[in-house]
């Protein structure tokens, strides 16, 4: 089972000022992100604040996105949850709404055995006839799955690959070298060049919402053997990321998009608004690079 495209924005979720979900904000966000040349959208994941939403809110977002964008680009629905039942329900909905692939973080909060995790993924792929990307993000999920166990998950033909959001490029390379028939998407934005040089199949990242063209450029430059250009683009991305670490990555990205006239609203509590000092740094960076409304 294959997935079209290689550079996917880990889509933010639009909220209203009062913190309620904003279905009306989906279309403007989609249009802006796709204008940067990315190949698709990865919805309702970490960047989408999915763990701060109810199942019904996530379903509303997936419904709105599927209805608006399924014929515009590749859509990947992140359906991961602490509950297998909820993940399965969202997977079925994503298939109904025309998504092209699924993804799921391992079940979190409780410390599950690998057998439980494998059963969770099996239930998801049994629920919908769509390729699945395992979302490996141990720092947030708490599930640090060893290489040999990740390879076991890839043994299911319905598992298309892995979204690898970790700094371990050695493990990333070992996985890709062992299963070259699978797709591996790198999710640590500040190290994308390293993964691209090792032969990643693409990337899925939060900063792609704002500067997706930079990551398309890195991938193209590496493919063309233009490492100097790729380094310059990664430095550009990393300068932004260094500022976002001061604003808070998601609050900073939302502030930037709102400033551009893309109505994504605030982050949900307990996220706090960025400081005035960090906002000034972010806005100066945007002005320097021509990101103005």
What DSSP line would sit under 46-84, residue for residue? TTTTGGGS-HHHHHHHHHHHHHHHTTTSEEEEE---S-H
Which tokens in the block code for residue 164? 């690898």
Peptide bond into 270 cis (omega under 30): yes
Q: What's the whole-model pTM score?
A: 0.96
78 is a domain residue: yes
More confident call, 145 vs 241? 241
258 is a domain residue: no
104 is a domain residue: yes
Question: Would you name the residues annotated as active-site residues?
Answer: 135, 163
CATH at 142: 3.20.20.70
Q: How far is CA 194 from CA 38, 116, 146, 199, in A?
A: 19, 33, 21, 9
26 is a domain residue: yes
Nearest to 2 by CA among 219, 157, 227: 157
86 is a domain residue: yes
27 is a domain residue: yes
Interval 192-251: pLDDT, tens: 999 999 999 999 999 999 999 999 999 999 999 999 999 999 999 999 999 999 999 999
113 is a domain residue: yes
Return the bridge partners of 183, or none.
Answer: 161
pLDDT above 90 (res 2): no
Q: How far is CA 101 from CA 4, 78, 237, in A?
A: 10, 9, 27
Neighbour tally for 179: CB within 10 Å? 17
243 close to 281: Cβ distance less than 8 angstroms: yes
Q: How far is CA 24 from CA 15, 45, 68, 108, 164, in A?
A: 9, 19, 11, 30, 31
Domain count, the chain: 1
264 is a domain residue: no
pLDDT above 80 (res 114): yes
Average pLDDT over residues 51-69: 98
- Percent of the chain scoring above 90 in pLDDT: 96
Grade residue 162 by pLDDT with cuts at 50, 70 and 90.
Answer: very high
Interval 72-91: pLDDT, tens: 999 999 999 999 999 999 99
Domain span including residue 162: 7-226
């Amino acid at each position: 089972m294959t997935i079209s495209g290689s550079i996917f924005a880990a889509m933010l979720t639009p909220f209203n000022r009062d913190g309620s979900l904003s279905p009306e904000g989906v279309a403007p966000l989609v249009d802006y992100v796709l204008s940067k040349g990315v190949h698709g959208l990865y919805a309702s994941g970490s960047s989408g604040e999915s763990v701060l939403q109810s199942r019904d809110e996530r379903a509303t977002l997936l419904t709105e996105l599927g209805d608006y964008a399924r014929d515009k680009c590749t859509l990947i629905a992140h359906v991961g949850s602490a509950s297998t039942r909820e993940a399965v329900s969202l997977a079925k909905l994503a298939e109904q709404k025309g998504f092209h692939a699924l993804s799921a973080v391992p079940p979190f909060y409780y410390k599950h055995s690998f057998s439980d995790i494998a059963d969770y993924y099996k239930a998801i792929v049994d629920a919908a006839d769509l390729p699945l990307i395992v979302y490996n993000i141990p720092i947030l999920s708490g599930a640090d799955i060893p290489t040999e166990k990740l390879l076991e998950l890839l043994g299911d033909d319905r598992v298309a690959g892995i979204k690898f959001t970790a700094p371990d490029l050695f493990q990333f390379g070992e996985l890709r070298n062992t299963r070259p028939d699978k797709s591996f998407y790198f999710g640590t934005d500040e190290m994308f060049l390293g993964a691209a040089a090792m032969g990643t199949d693409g990337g899925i990242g939060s900063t792609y919402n704002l500067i997706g063209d930079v990551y398309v450029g890195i991938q193209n430059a590496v493919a063309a053997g233009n490492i100097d250009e790729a380094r310059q683009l990664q430095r550009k991305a990393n300068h932004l990321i260094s500022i976002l670490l001061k604003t808070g990555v998601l609050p900073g990205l939302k502030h930037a998009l709102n400033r551009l006239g893309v109505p994504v609203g605030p982050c949900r509590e307990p996220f706090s608004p960025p400081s005035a000092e960090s906002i000034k740094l972010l806005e100066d960076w945007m002005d320097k690079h021509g990101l103005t409304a």
